[in-house]
Structure 1
């Protein structure tokens, strides 16, 4: 799966209103799966991040662990 889609591109795709119903459904599913994949990868990296880097991004270990423990489908 390509990770080149940005939030802006995802927004444009998910707001496409001139597509046939099946194509529109496919876009909605693709956008959801792409977002889930990004959350999964981000949370996986966050769970492995050393404490000194967590403080660099403004997170404490407890908050980072809480975020990393969320399932990929939760925002």
Structure 2
């Protein structure tokens, strides 16, 4: 499981180049904003993108450091 520090500073065992601290903070804040906006969508809009309100709520409640692996490189 990734911790907040792993996300912000990068793990030592990663082979991919590490992002700078500010880039990681900006990415984390963008993720937070995206999840908040997702939570604000109504059922009709969520249906357009194939999600339920339960899916959107679950995504919005995920911790900031719990991001898809592809976003961490």
For the superposition of Structure 1 and Structure 2, which TM-score range results when normalised by the shorter chain? Answer: 0.5 to 0.7
More RCO (CA 8 Å, sep 6+): 2
Structure 1 length as normaliser, TM-score? Answer: 0.60
Between the two proteins, the alignment pairs up a number of residues equal to 52
Structure 1: segments with no counterpart, 5+ residues: 1-13, 17-26
Where in structure 1 do 4 or more consecutive aligned residues deviate above 3 Å?
none
Task: After superposition, give the CA deviation of every residue in 1:25-65 in whole Å (9 maximum; x if it has no partner).
Answer: xx510121011011110011011111100011111111111
Structure 2: segments with no counterpart, 5+ residues: 1-15, 68-73
What is the Cα-based RMSD across aligned positions, in Å?
Answer: 1.8
Whose Rg is larger?
A: 1
Distance (whole Å) between structure 2 residues aligned to residue 47 and residue 61 of structure 1: 8
Higher share in helix: 1
Q: Please name the residue that 1:29 is paired with.
A: 21
